[in-house]
Amino acid sequence: MAKEKSGKKEVKKGEQASYGAKDIYVLEGLDPVRKRPAMYIGSTGSDGQHHLIWECVDNAIDEAMGGYCKNIEISLLPQNRVKVIDDGRGIPVDTHAQTKKSALETVMTTLHAGAKFGSKAYQVSGGLHGVGVSVVCALSVFMRVEVCREGNRYYQEYVKGKPKTKVVKYDKCKKTGTTVIFEPDFEIFKEHKTKEAVTGEGEETVIEVSNKAADFIPIKFDSKKILNHLRQQAYLTQGVKMVFSDLRAKDPYIYSFYFEDGIRAYIRYLTRGDTVRHQNVFYTKGEKEGLIVEAAFQYTNERECYEESFANNIYTGEGGTHLTGFRSALTRTLNDYARKNNFLKGTDENLTGEDVREGLTAVVSVKIREPQFEGQTKARLGNTEARVAVDTVVAEAMTDFLERNPQDAKAMIESSILAQKARNAAKSARETVLRKGALEGLALPGKLADCTSRKPEESEIFIVEGESAGGSSRQARDRHFQAILPLRGKILNVEKARLDRILSSKEIRALIIAMGTGVAEDFDVERSRYHRIIIMCDADSDGNHIKTLLLTLFYRHFQPMIEKGYIYAAQPPLYKIQHGKRIEYAYNDEDKEEIVADIRKEQKVKKGKTEKAKDGEEEEKITGVNIQRYKGLGEMNPQELWDTTMNPENRVLLKINIESAREADKVFDVLMGEDVLPRKRFIQAHAKKVKNLDI
C-alpha cells in the first residue's frame, strides 16, 4: 500500500495534543470556499475548473428560462481567462438593505446570497444554493463584473473573493445584461508537470510528490468539453442563441448554437449515425402541479440504453426521481399496450425495465420551483413530486402516441420483446456455465501464472498475447505482485455479441475467472483480484487490434473497472538502440530519431566537430550503432522486458479512462460494429494521422 510522505509532526504514543478555544477557527466571507474548494465544485482538477464556467453560464440560463435573455456568449481569452456575457436584466447594483453594500458586491462576495431563495425574481433556476457565482469569485485570482442596467454601465473587480474596487458607474448603455471575466487561481487549479517518483516495494512503497511551484502548471480549459456542454444547454433552452469563441490561438474560431426544436432535435443529434427502429421521435411537454415536464426518446438498433436527465437545465448525471418516473411510465405503458394488442399473448411474463430500455436514447428535463439536489454539484434530483409528475405526463402522452402511431408502437414492442428473449437466453447460458462452476472461481485458469500477494490494491495482472510473450513475461515478472495471463490469438469481438456467445469463448471465460469479478448481473467490481489490469500487446497493427478487442470487452461488460482506474495499456518499446555500452529504447519513430541525433552529436563532440553541417553538406554518418526493431514481445529477453515494460520504476503505463462515454460508445460502434461503410469512412478520414503502420 502506497504511503505519501508528509511534513506533519507525528504525535507520539502517550502524548496529548492540545485542544482549546484557540484551536477553533471561524472562517468568514468566502474563506470556507478557499479552504475547502472541492466541497463546492467537486474537485480542484480539470472538472472543478470547468465547473466555474458552468456556474456563470447557469446564471445566464436562469435569466433565459425566465424569458429575459436571448443571447449568451462564452469566450476563452489569453492568460487563462474566461468571459461570459448575457443580455438578461443585469445584476442589481443598488444598496442592499441587510448588508448595506451594493447588491452586486453582496451577490459576488457572500455565500447563499441571491434572488433564488424566495423572491419572485426567478420562477425556476439551477442556482438553488446561491453559492455559484460567489464561489467563482472566491476561486479566481482576478474577476471583473460589468452590469448594464437602467441606461448605465457599472463594474467592480475582485481578487480571491475580496473587492478590489468599489462599484463604479463609468458609461452609458442602451441594453441590459451582465459580463463576467475571471481567471482561476493557479494556487488552487494546477497539475503536476513531472511524474511522481516511486521507491520501495509492497507496503513500504513511498510516493514522493513534489510540492514545489515549479513542478506545477495551470490547468488549461478544454474547448471540446465546453462546446459539448454549451451544445447540450442550447438544446435544452429553446430559442436562445449561444456563441462560443476560443481566442487563445493565432487563428481563433467561433461556434454558434441555436435550436428551435429543443430536446426533440437533441434526440436526433444523439442518435446521428445510428439505425433508428421507428420513424417518429416521441416528444411531450406538460405541466403537473406547477412542475413542467419535457421528455423525448427514440429506439435504435444499439443494445445500450442512453439516458440524460436535467432539472432546471442542470445535468443530473446520477439521475434521480424525475428519471425514475420516466422509466416507470415507459415500462408500464409499453406493457399495457403490448397486452392490449396481443403482443404478449401466451406468456405471463411482462417486459422488464431492462427489456424496454435496450436501444433507447432518451432525454428527460424538468423545471421545478424548489429543486432538491444532492450536493452543490447537483448530480442527483431528490424531489418526490418530480417522480409523480414525470410518470403522469409521460404515461398520458405515450398512450396517445402509441395509439396514433401503430407502426412506431409495433417497432418499439418488437424491439423490447427481442431484448426479453435475448435476456432469457443469456440468463440460461450463464446459469449453465455457473452450474459447471466455470465462473465461480472454483478453479483459476491453468495458464494463469498468479502472484503470491492476495492484496488487490498491490496486485496487477498482465494480459499478453500468445505463449511466446507469456513465457518471457513469466520469467521477467516480480512474482510477489505481478500475475501473467496469456491469451491465444484474437479474442471474440463482443461489440454485437450476446452474453451467451461471449461466455462460450474459452479465452474470455479465463479472463473473467482470473479477474474474479463475475459478469452481467453477478458482476461486482469490489471482488476484483487485481487493481491494475494491464493489456500488454505487441507494438504493431495486430497488437493494436487485440488491444482494441480487449478494450471493447472492458467497455461493454466491465465499464466500472475503467471508471475506477483499474485498466491500463503497457507501452513496450518499438526499437532497441545500442552504441557501444550505451543502450536506449525508443517507443516510436520520434524517440528513435531523437536518440540517434543525440548519439551523432556525442560522436561529433568526441571528434572535435561541434559545428552544425552547412547548407548542402550531408550529415556525417554515425558508425557502430545497432538499431533493432522489435516485431513482438516474444523477441525480448526477460531482462529487457522487465527493464522497459514491467518494472514499476521505469515503465510507462497508459491509464484507460472515459472522458465522454457517449463519444466512446460511438467510436466503438464505428470501429467494431457490423457496418463496413462507417468504418471505411473513419479510416479514410484519419489515415494520414497514422504512424508506424505495418503492412
Active site residue 465: yes
What is the C-alpha to C-alpha distance for residues 230 and 166, in angstroms, rounded to an integer?
A: 32
Please check whether residue 381 is in contact with residue 322, taking contact to mean a CB–CB distance below 8 angstroms: yes
Say how many C-beta atoms besides its own lie within 10 A of residue 593's C-beta: 11
- 163 phi and psi angles, rounded to 5 deg: -65, 135
Partnered with residue 291 across adjacent β-strands are 288
What is the C-alpha to C-alpha distance for residues 322 and 387, in angstroms, rounded to an integer?
A: 5
Please check whether residue 293 is in contact with residue 394, taking contact to mean a CB–CB distance below 8 angstroms: yes
CA 108 from centroid of its chain's CA atoms: 30
CA atoms within 13 A on the CB side of 334: 24
Residue 293 vs residues 372, 392, 473: alpha-carbon distances, Å: 16, 10, 57
Among 146, 465, 643, 669, the active-site one is 465
Active site residue 540: yes
Torsion region of 29: left, alpha or beta (phi above 0 gives left; psi -120 to 50 gives alpha): left
Say how many C-beta atoms besides its own lie within 10 A of residue 44's C-beta: 19
Active site residue 86: no
What is the C-alpha to C-alpha distance for residues 415 and 297, in angstroms, rounded to an integer?
A: 14
Among 458, 538, 584, 669, the active-site one is 538
What is the C-alpha to C-alpha distance for residues 72 and 177, in angstroms, rounded to an integer?
A: 10
Active site residue 308: no
Please check whether residue 428 is in contact with residue 420, taking contact to mean a CB–CB distance below 8 angstroms: no
DSSP 634: G
Partnered with residue 286 across adjacent β-strands are 293
Among 354, 542, 602, 635, the active-site one is 542
Of 42, 26, 30, 218, nearest to 133 (Cα)? 30
- 535 phi and psi angles, rounded to 5 deg: -80, 115
- 389 phi and psi angles, rounded to 5 deg: -65, -45
Q: List active site positions.
A: 465, 538, 540, 542
